[in-house]
Amino acid sequence: MTETLSSRTVRSPLATPSLGGLGLFTVLLGAALPLIDFFIVNVALPTIGGDLHAGEPVLELVVSGYGLSYAVLLVLGGRLGDLFGRREFFLGGMAAFGITSLACGLAPNAWTLVVARAAQGAAAAAMLPQVLATIQAATSGQRRARAMGLYGATAGLSMVAGQILGGVLVAADIAGTGWRSVFLVNVPVVAVGLVLAARAVPETRSRHPEPVDGPGTVLLAASLLTLLAPLTEGRATGWPLWTWLSLAAFPFAAWAFHAVERRADRQGRTPLVPPSLLALTSLRRGLVMLVPFSIGFSGFMFVIAVALQRGAGLGPVPAGLALTPMALAFFVVSLCGPRLVGRFGTRVVTAGGLIQAVGVALMALTAWRSWPDLGVLELLPGAAVAGAGQALQLPILLRITLSEVPPARAGVGSGLVITTQQSALALGVATLGSLFLSLVPGSGMRGALVTTLLVQLAGIALTVALSLRLPRTIG
The tens digit of pLDDT for each residue in 203-239 reads 887 776 667 778 888 898 899 889 888 887 787 778 8
Q: How far apart are CA 316 and CA 164, in angstroms?
A: 8
Confidence of residue 8 (pLDDT cuts 50, 70, 90): very low
- Are residues 397 and 293 in contact, defined by beta-carbon separation less than 8 angstroms? yes
Confidence of residue 322 (pLDDT cuts 50, 70, 90): confident
Q: Indicate if the pLDDT at residue 4 is higher than 70.
A: no
Per the CB < 8 A criterion, the answer to whether 177 and 105 are in contact is yes
Contact between residue 212 and residue 83 where contact means Cβ atoms under 8 Å apart: yes
Q: Measured in whole angstroms, how far is the alpha carbon of residue 52 from the centre of its chain?
A: 27
Choose among 202, 467, 198, 429: nearest CA to 344.
Answer: 467
pLDDT at 445 > cutoff 50? yes
Q: What pLDDT shows up at residue 16? A: 62
Tell me which of 254 and 68 has the higher pLDDT: 254
| Residue 332 one-letter amino acid | V
Average pLDDT score over residue span 409-433: 80
Share of the chain above pLDDT 70, in %: 95
CA distance 151 to 129: 12
What pLDDT, in 10s, does the model give residues 41-57?
877 888 888 888 887 77
Name the E strands within 108-182: none
**For the chain, what is the total number of helices (H) and then of strands (E)?**
20, 0
pLDDT > 90: percent of the chain:
29
Q: Is the pLDDT of residue 299 over 60?
A: yes
Average pLDDT over every residue of 439-451? 90
Whether the predicted pLDDT of 252 surpasses 60:
yes
For residues 457-461, give the mean pLDDT.
93
What is this structure's pTM? Answer: 0.80
CA angle 109, 111, 114 (to 5 degrees): 115
